[in-house]
Structure formats: structure tokens, C-alpha cells
Amino acid sequence: MRPVMIPEPILETRVFAPATVANVACGYDVLGFAIDSPGDEVVVRHSNKPGLRITTITGDHGKLPKDPEKNTAGVAALDFLRHLGMLDRGIEMEIHKKMPFGSGLGSSAASSVAGVYAVNRLIGEPLTKKQLLPFAMAGEASADGAWHADNVAPCLLGGIVFIRSNEELDIAQIPVPKNLWAAVVHPDIEILTKVAREILPQDIPLANATQQIGNLGGLLCGLIQEDYGLISRSIHDVIAEPRRQKLIPEFYKAKRAALSAGALGFSISGAGPSVFALCEGEQSARKVGDAIAKVFADVPLSHQIHVSQINPRGVHVIDEKINA
């Protein structure tokens, strides 16, 4: 007798992976959170041809390769399929880039997370979200050569994520105060992560290290206790921000404008050029976002404003075709 072929329950899935704010001032490489938008979308479907193929890429202005071995979404998905012994599984992938490159919003992480999450969903979710983390990390690392989860982890899991160890991928999700909002402004310039890392000091004075540790501990305690005053006193970066601010036009003017408008704190998102402010309440966040945007508009510099609560979902399915 011929074996009975069981049809795949999911024919096609489209997922959304959100932008993220990494470092969060004092948490260099160990703290990040997800926002509602922008983000990347990936579509995957079954194929009769063996192997993973990237058929379509939009929004990349021709910058991204369709070779899955050279594309962050493809690398993450292939690493995952290799782990399962399913490299011959026929899968077609579309990538729709809806966030800028070199923005400091985790563009590479979003593609990587979307790629592996979509494939995992298509084949029946053999792994949990958290188990997908190392494969998503491999995808992002293929783009910038760094191994840090402060973009990938919040993009995948949502919320605010603390990374005790990037090497061990020992992470914890931090409680989010109910009325905590973020105003994120992206000025239309590009800063490569490699360049932003090269200008950082190799040696840090003990006094600065002690202050940064205190700020990070204070920020974590403030988040857990919903103590907005402690959050505000703790959002200070004495290591990366003083060096990286020179890459962003009118950075300190924007910071003064944000704090004057009521922000709890203000700093650089990831490697920049995007900047962020944490705020108490939506009204405050919108006022702060407008104040920051006005500084960039006066340069003049085109920009985009994203006002959002902390995104609790992370990557998720937005559309699916199911086998009837």
C-alpha cells in the first residue's frame, strides 16, 4: 500500500517582527525592548523544490542578496532547519523590509527573527520562541559579526529583556510598568554598527564602570517596582553615549528638548542614529516625540517619529493560509 500523505495544516504564513531599542542607555549589549512599529514582514510557503529559496525581497533598494546563505533571514532559517535535519524541506520565502538599514532599530535582528519564526510556524512549531533564539542570533551575527541579544531577544519575545550573558544566551524578561511609553525618532542618516563600535573605548575608568552598573541596577529596579522617579534617575549612559553622540546631528539639543518636554530619560537607540525617550503616559510620549522631531527638522533633517508602549508580543503571525 502507498503511504497516506497527510496535508500540511498551514500552507503559507506571514509574520511581523518589530523594531527594537537596544542598550536602553546604561544597558550596553545587555538590555533592549520592543516597540510596535516599524518592523519587517516575512512570508513563507511550502514548495515542491527541495531546499530554502528566497524568491522576493522588497523595500531593500537592491541591497540584500537572495542567496539564503548570505541573507540574515535565510541564515537564521537555514541554521534552524539544519538543527532539525530538514535542509531538504522545500520552502519559499519572501522578505519585505519595512524599516531602514543602519537605523539603530534592529533591522537585521527583525529580518533574522522573522525568518526563523516564520519557518518554525510553517512546519508546525517544533520549537518554542525562546528555543529559536540561538538561530535568530546566528542570522543577525551574519550581518554585523557581533553576538549580542539586546535586539534579537526583545524582537523575538517582546517586552523588555535583560541579557545576563550573551555567550550563554542567559536572558530574563523584565516586568513593564503599565504606563511606560517610548518616543523613538529616526533621523534619515545611516550609522553602521561597525563604525559605532569602533569609536568606543577599550578601557573604561573604574568610576565610570561603577556609575554605569549603578544606573543599570537602578533602571531594572525602577522597572520592576514601577518607580518612574528611579527609572528617570537611572537612564544615563556614561560609556557609549558620550562617544557616539557626535555621529548624530544636534544630539544634545534633542536631549535637552526631550527632557524639557517631560521625558523620563533620553539616549541613543542601539548604535544610532535613532534616539529614544522613555515617558510616563501616551500624552507625554507624543509631546516628547514632537519636541525631538522639531530639533531634527530645524537642522533640517527628515525624520520619522514612532510613539509606542513597550510591545509585549514580539514577533507574531499577521496572516495565514490554512489547508481546508
10-174+311-322 and 180-309 in the same fold:
no
The residue ranges of every structural domain in the chain are 10-174+311-322, 180-309
Q: Is 111 helix (H, G, I), strand (E, B) or coil?
A: helix
Catalytic residue among 20, 72, 193, 280: 193
Interatomic CA distance for residues 19 and 40, integer angstroms:
8
Q: Report the pLDDT value the prediction gives residue 324, as an integer from 0 to 100.
A: 67
What are φ and ψ of residue 275, in 5° steps?
Answer: -125, 160
Q: How far apart are alpha carbons 247 and 191 in whole angstroms?
A: 8
The C-alpha cell of 102 is what? 543602519
CATH architecture of 180-309: 2-Layer Sandwich (3.30)
Q: CA–CA separation, 285 vs 278, rounded Å?
A: 7
Q: pTM of the predicted model, to two decimals? A: 0.94
Tell me which of 140, 168, 241, 250 is the catalytic residue.
140
> Mean pLDDT per segment of 10 residues, for the chain of length 324 residues?
59 98 97 97 97 97 94 98 97 96 93 98 97 97 87 98 97 97 96 84 94 98 98 97 96 98 98 97 98 97 97 98 84
Q: Is 140 a catalytic residue?
A: yes
Phi–psi pair at 256, nearest 5 degrees = -65, -40
Q: Specify whether the CB–CB gap between 297 and 4 falls below 8 A.
A: no
72 is catalytic: no
* φ/ψ of residue 204, rounded to 5: -115, 130
Say whether domain 10-174+311-322 belongs to CATH 3.30.230.10: yes
- Phi/psi class of residue 85: alpha, beta or left (left: φ > 0; alpha: ψ in -120 to 50)? left
